[in-house]
């Protein structure tokens, strides 16, 4: 904020201490010209809706603050990711990445499906719990610990559940775990497709649940696509589209999927988070 320069007291030419003291009578408003029949002025009252940003706008700000500044690499893979934010959207999905503490890096896609509390607030809680739990423990234990944290913070009457997909690139394969339903699959260069499934309910729904994981082989040229925020049908359409543009870079493919989702929904905005990994 601009702060106008201050003039030191001793630099005011010709000013004495007496000059700086005003008679209170000089400050009081005159009543000579006041018409007693005029109505009293009314202080304007602002509508709170004119002062406060919308819940959606606040959610988008929160999502923007959560999004990683860049996509980290993983040996043997080209990786890109992105989240769309729409003016009329709910701000209910985000992607993230986190070191697992064992030398590997996890890529995460989160979504809050239920209405209720601002979804971005719940996503922030899940993101924080994931980062706190990433201390070198196996992926299945990480998921169980995050589920416990969110279930413990649950408020009765509110569906504060988070669909969560986690991909961990490895040597010639990826480890996959999914809480809830986040469409994902491996696309082969030969046109083959392997769907990756769910390993339990959304995070925070069922205290004490033990999540599983699975390994998916990744040969040279094969790709993995994750679409949080999209239906199974929308995902299959996106997967078919990706199969046609395999020569594009990973970043270009994520952009293509985002634009295709926008076209598919027209004036009904749907926000999605995309993870794309391709084996060298």
How do residues 140-198 score in pLDDT, each as one tens digit? 999 999 999 999 988 777 778 999 999 999 999 999 999 999 999 999 999 999 999 99
Q: What is the separation of C-alpha 97 from the centre of its chain, rounded to a whole number of angstroms?
A: 12
Tell me the pLDDT tens digit for each residue of 14-71.
333 444 444 545 544 455 555 555 555 555 554 555 545 687 889 999 999 999 999 9
Alpha-helix residue ranges (DSSP H) falling in 81-200: 119-133, 139-152
pTM of the model: 0.81
Report how far Cα 140 is from the mean position of its chain's Cα atoms. Answer: 23
- The rounded Cα 39 to chain-centroid distance in angstroms is 52
> From the CB of residue 136, how many other CB atoms can be counted at a distance below 10 Å?
12
Q: What is the Cα–Cα distance from 172 to 20, expressed in whole angstroms?
A: 81
CA dihedral 225, 227, 231, 236 (to 10 degrees): -20
Burial of 144 (0-12, 13-18, 19+ CB in 10 A): buried
Domains and CATH numbers, the chain: 63-279 (3.60.40.10)
Q: What distance in Å separates the CA atoms of residue 276 and residue 172, rounded to the nearest whole number?
A: 16
Query: Rounded to a whole number, what is the distance in angstroms from the first to the last CA of the chain?
Result: 50
State the number of CA atoms in the 13 A half-sphere of 181 facing the CB.
Answer: 7
Question: Encoding tokens for residue 129?
Answer: 């719990």
């Amino acid at each position: 904020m601009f702060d106008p320069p201050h003039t030191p007291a001793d630099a005011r030419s010709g000013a004495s201490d007496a000059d700086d003291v005003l008679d209170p009578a000089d400050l009081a408003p005159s009543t000579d010209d006041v018409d007693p029949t005029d109505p009293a002025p009314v202080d304007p009252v602002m509508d709170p809706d004119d002062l406060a940003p919308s819940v959606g706008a606040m959610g988008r700000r929160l999502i923007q603050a959560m999004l990683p500044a860049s996509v980290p690499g993983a040996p043997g893979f080209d990786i890109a990711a992105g989240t769309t934010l729409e003016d009329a959207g709910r701000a209910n999905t985000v992607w993230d990445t986190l070191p697992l503490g064992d030398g590997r890096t996890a890529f995460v896609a989160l979504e809050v499906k239920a209405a209720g509390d601002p979804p971005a607030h719940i996503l922030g809680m899940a993101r924080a719990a994931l980062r706190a739990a990433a201390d070198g423990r196996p992926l299945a234990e990480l998921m169980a610990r995050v589920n416990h944290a969110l279930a413990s913070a649950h408020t009765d009457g509110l569906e504060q559940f988070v669909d969560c997909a986690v991909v961990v690139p490895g040597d010639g394969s990826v480890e996959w775990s999914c809480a809830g339903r986040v469409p994902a699959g491996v696309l082969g260069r030969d046109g083959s497709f392997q769907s990756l499934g769910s390993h339990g309910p959304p995070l925070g729904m069922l205290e004490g649940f033990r999540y599983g994981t699975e390994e998916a082989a990744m040969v040279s040229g094969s790709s993995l696509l994750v679409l949080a925020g999209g239906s199974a049908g929308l995902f299959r359409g996106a997967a078919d589209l990706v199969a046609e543009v395999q020569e594009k870079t990973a970043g270009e493919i994520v952009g293509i999927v985002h634009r295709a989702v926008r076209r598919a929904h027209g004036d009904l905005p749907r926000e999605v988070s995309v993870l794309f990994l391709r084996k060298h």
